[in-house]
Amino acid sequence: MTTEQPATPDGVRAGATLLDIQGLTKDFPGNRALDDVSLELRSGEIVAVVGHNGSGKSTLVKILAGVYTSDGGTVALRQDDPEAPTEIHIIHQDLGLASELNAIENISIPKYQGASAWVPFSGRRERDAAARLISRFGSPFDVTVPVGTLAPAQRSIIAIARALDGWKHPRNILILDEPTEALHASEVAVLFEAVKKLAADGAGVIFISHRLDEVVELADRIVVLRDGRKVADESSEGIDHDTLVSYVTGVAAGEAETGRAARATGEVVLDIENLTGADIEGIDLTIRAGEVVGVAGVLGSGREALPALVFGSIDASADRFELAGEPYLRRSPSESIRRGIGFVPGDRAKLGSVRPLTARENVTLPDLESLTSGVAGISARRERREVAGLIAKYEVRPPRQEQVFAQFSGGNQQKLVFAKWLRNDPKLLLLEEPTQGVDIGAKQALYGAIDDAAAAGAGVLVCSSEAKELVRLCDRVLVLRGGRVAAELAGGRLTETQLVKEGYGLADEGAQ
Amino acid sequence: MKKTEAITTVVDDAAGVSAGSSWRRRLSFQNISAIYLFILVFVIFSILVPGTFLTPGTWLGIFDAESLTVMAAIAVMIPLVAGVFNLAIGAEIAWAVMLVAVLQARWNVPFWIAILVTLACGALIGLISGLIITKLRIDSFIATLGMSSILLAAKWFISDNRQITGLDDGFREVARAGVTLAYNDQGNPTFKITLPVIVMIVVAFIVWYVLERIPAGRRMYAIGYNADGARLSGVKVQKIQIGTLMAGGVIAALAGVLLASKLNSGDPTVGPSMLLPALTAVFLGSTQFKGGRFNVWGTVLALYVLAVGIKGLQLLGASGWVEDLFYGVALIGAVALSRWEPTAKRLGAVKRATTFRWIRSEKPESAEESSTPSEPKA
């Protein structure tokens, strides 16, 4: 990797500053998302911004996109040439393409807006223009088929081509937000080729990612955010993986921060052989009563699919699937609940709750039978008493069970979701991102609830993108990569550093 | 820490205030606007047409005549609670009217068997609609619109679209039966609760019981608000949705049977016109009592308020088109009213139901959440 500034073709001064961020700060209630972050981007430069979930990457992008306004600091664009101002173009993770339309149409979407909407366009000229744009970034492909049928990398290139279409000069800024999440390794190479070409033409590129290995390969400079602060801003040359991991985690390499003391475990609650479905390509899993098993892995590794496969809300096959010693191969959510499985999904709003119903109605929804007696129907008094007990136990604020679920804060919503599943002492508790979007106080309370559930004899599966959380909660952690178990960490080897390394496939010694 | 305490105190205060003023909230215009509307309508017409508007005959007439429309509205409401539109309700009633008549007049089936067959057929129609919606995954709007047309064709097929007369003598007595509470000097009934009214009240009560008191009802609401979330809470979404359509189908068939009995014939023109009043009442009813949820008593109340308003206008001498105009305006008004809800409590049953799926934005709920303070990940 070279850090020298490539000369731009149209004679523009190489290395001119395109973007200058000084002391950027953003506060959310109870949480400072960005704290005095400064960043400079020069023409022809690729800067990678890395960090964990919640480190402030998304907040930074959203401020640059104008979604959020900052609470302090300045963002300045290149001013030297008022005739050709620098523009910021952002490609979000989902690319924002209309998958039923073809590449030509997708590239033209921005053009259809405004006064020109009524002017007929030339089909052939448009097609040639689209093909030309795309061929700038590697091998051409069919621009007339719906983009939904193209490979993910090709879709990324269409998004880049669209962002670039209509640039009056090359000295603009392109921000790519987690662009490689959906891509395979070979496709990543195609995308990187495109990005490098762009930078060689004089654009400034900010590349947001949490795949550390890729970043070192692509970027000229690496900026690491942690808890909203910039903790490193270094040339990618000579930076090694260990240093990068220690920047990201905040734990110095070699400094051990091991997992918790082993819990007493009992009978096998869950025993699965060769589970396959969605992103998972064959996983064996055993969980004992009282044991907390973590699942780590980057997005797309299968981490976020696993609990749904076990719960039965997504179809999956397995050679063997035993719950508390009984075979359970044909799964469905209702049957899983009947057999004593609880599932806290990662998407609280869409899957974990029914937001317009009250707290009480949400908590009792999975099991109304136990509150029902004969023709009298649901016993309102018993239901209220039971929910009041749970609300007190999990310290839900405000303690009002008739309040609509959506009106609680994130942390209290999640407490209610926990209350809903812990109400009937599940045998197996499946947790997906259990503390996503909750404040620090609620987080500790939820950790306590998970500890208690395990102590009460539940087997717990925790899938989380937060290494620190897994280290705090789990007896052992399975690290997934490409839908398979890449490593299993427990005891002294269960550290944040090791988890991050294994997750990114950076482990030096061949674990397992 | 200090901050948290302050917030808690404020919230506790708010709880105290709202508990103290719960009667004010219950009697607020927002909660029972239909009742205030009713009082307004009552006063206006009592002043304008006192001679005709204030007679018991007028009121019993409205009560009896609209009881079938109320049943149609309940039949629309049940699937709607579980997030399923049934635009075929008018056609289902039209089909039931014709089927129960044809069975008696053409095939000489005893009237009570004809009634049972018609009710069973109503359930079957609900089952078929339900399977189309859940198994073929066709939007309920489209599926029931198609079903409606199919049923009207079937009705025509069995009747040649002609008036069917010559029904069982016992059949015409069904809708005329009832409980007489008062007689005049000549011994003629002056205050009679007819069977359609009794059936309507019984149906409304059963549906209220199911929705409010047993698990199935709770699950229906959960599906209507968030089918995916309900499924992950163990709710059998498809089964319940099919069940609601079947229940609605039986109630629609019941309304059709009573309508045929009342008319003492199979009338090819009745039925479809009941859809609009029914939908209007359901949407207007959702703004009453239950903070934005579809509910039985709100629906019943809304329908009668609308009917009384129309009756008053007719007594004033308005022409026939006033009914269509009134319901059309009221439907749009009711939906607008329920979508324009200042409190998040009334987060949209109607909003959800009246936003077409294909123009609904990707994540309305989470987009809303992103504006809450809890959004940034800790």
Give the pLDDT score at A239: 81
Would you call A312 an interface residue with chain B, using a CB distance cutoff of 8 Å? no
Report DSSP state, residue A505. Answer: T
Would you call B320 an interface residue with chain A, using a CB distance cutoff of 8 Å? no
Q: With H, G, I as helix, E, B as strand and everything else as coil, classify residue A262.
A: coil
Distance from CA of A366 to the nearest CA of B (A): 5
Give the pLDDT score at B148: 97
What is the pLDDT averaged over residues B351-371?
39
Name beta bridge partners: A461. Answer: A293, A430
**CA-based radius of gyration for chain B:** 23
Nearest by CB: A410 against B231, B368, B374: B374
Give the pLDDT score at A53: 66
Give the pLDDT score at A146: 87
Label residue B123 exposed, middle or buried (CB < 10 Å: 0-12, 13-18, 19+).
middle
Nearest by CB: A366 against B233, B363, B372: B233
Take residue A140 and report the two structure tokens written for it. 């051409």
Give the pLDDT score at B191: 75
| Domains delineated in chain B | 26-351 (1.10.3470)
* C-alpha atoms less than 13 angstroms from C-alpha of A434 in its C-beta half-sphere: 35
Alpha carbon distance B212, B189 (integer Å) = 37
Longest CA–CA separation in chain B, Å = 82
Would you call A349 an interface residue with chain B, using a CB distance cutoff of 8 Å? yes
Q: Chain B partners of A351 at a C-beta cutoff of 8 Å?
A: 228-229, 232
Give the pLDDT score at A182: 64
Would you call A388 an interface residue with chain B, using a CB distance cutoff of 8 Å? no
Give the pLDDT score at B235: 95
Give the pLDDT score at A143: 82
Give the pLDDT score at A436: 82
Take residue B146 and report the two structure tokens written for it. 């198609």
Give the pLDDT score at B253: 97
Name beta bridge partners: A22. Answer: A74
Give the pLDDT score at A13: 43
Q: Chain B partners of A413 at a C-beta cutoff of 8 Å?
A: 374
Q: Which residue has the tokens 């709880």?
A: B15
* Residues in chain B, total: 378
Q: Chain A partners of B235 at a C-beta cutoff of 8 Å?
A: 334, 365
Give the pLDDT score at B364: 35
DSSP A49-70: EE--TTSSHHHHHHHHHTSS--
Q: With H, G, I as helix, E, B as strand and everything else as coil, classify residue A344.
A: strand
* Residues in chain A, total: 512
- Whether residue B365 and residue A53 make contact (CB cut-off 8 A), yes or no, is no
Handedness of CA B191, B196, B199, B204 (dihedral sign): negative
What is the pLDDT averaged over residues B122-140?
96
Q: Sorting pLDDT into bands at 50, 70 and 90, what band is B2?
A: very low
ipTM of the complex: 0.80
DSSP B19-65: HHTHHHHHTSTTTSHHHHHHHHHHHHHHHHSHHHHT-HHHHHHHHHH
| Domains delineated in chain A | 1-87+171-251 (3.40.50.300), 99-166 (no CATH), 268-504 (3.40.50.300)
Tell whether omega for the bond before A356 is within 30 degrees of 0, i.e. cis: no
Q: Check whether B353 has a pLDDT greater than 70.
A: no
Tens digits of residue pLDDT in B282-332: 998 888 887 778 999 999 999 999 998 888 888 888 888 888 888 888 888
Q: Can you list the residues of chain A whose pLDDT is less than 50?
A: 1-13, 115, 256, 508-512
Alpha carbon distance B37, B50 (integer Å) = 18
Closest CA to A219 of A183, A181, A185, A176: A176
Give the pLDDT score at A171: 81
Sheet of A320-323: strand order equals: A280-288, A268-277, A320-323, A326-327
Nearest by CB: A404 against B214, B347, B372: B347
Chain centre to alpha carbon of residue A250: 20
Give the pLDDT score at B277: 93
| Nearest residue on chain A to B16, alpha-carbon basis | A400
Alpha carbon distance A69, A194 (integer Å) = 31
A21-53 as b/e, with b when 16 or more CB fall inside 10 Å? Answer: beebbbebebbbbbbebebbbbbbbbbbbbbbb
Q: Are A87 and A167 in contact, with CB atoms under 8 Å apart?
A: yes
* Beta strands A31-42; A46-50: pairing state: unpaired
Residue A92 backbone dihedrals phi, psi, to 5 degrees: -80, 165
Report DSSP state, residue A312. Answer: T
Take residue A150 and report the two structure tokens written for it. 């193209």
- Whether residue B229 and residue A353 make contact (CB cut-off 8 A), yes or no, is yes
Nearest by CB: A378 against B213, B230, B374: B213
Q: Check whether B376 has a pLDDT greater than 80.
A: no
Q: Are A460 and A291 in contact, with CB atoms under 8 Å apart?
A: yes
Give the pLDDT score at A184: 67
Q: Check whether B92 has a pLDDT greater than 90.
A: yes
What is the pLDDT averaged over residues B56-85?
92
Distances (CA, A) of B221 to B88, B296, B338: 21, 13, 17
Nearest by CB: B225 against A53, A354, A368: A354
Between the two ends of chain B, the Cα-to-Cα distance in Å is 16
Residues 6 or more apart whose CB falls under 8 angstroms from that of A81 comprise none
Nearest by CB: B345 against A372, A397, A404: A404
Would you call A337 an interface residue with chain B, using a CB distance cutoff of 8 Å? yes
Alpha carbon distance A193, A137 (integer Å) = 7
* C-alpha atoms less than 13 angstroms from C-alpha of A161 in its C-beta half-sphere: 27
Label residue B126 exposed, middle or buried (CB < 10 Å: 0-12, 13-18, 19+).
buried
- Whether residue B347 and residue A355 make contact (CB cut-off 8 A), yes or no, is yes
Tens digits of residue pLDDT in A38-50: 999 988 899 999 8
Q: With H, G, I as helix, E, B as strand and everything else as coil, classify residue A223.
A: strand
Q: Give which of B218, B221, B240, B338 to mutate to test A binding, by max A Cβ within 10 Å.
A: B218
Give the pLDDT score at B299: 94
Dihedral angle, C-alpha A26, A29, A33, A39, nearest 10 °: 10
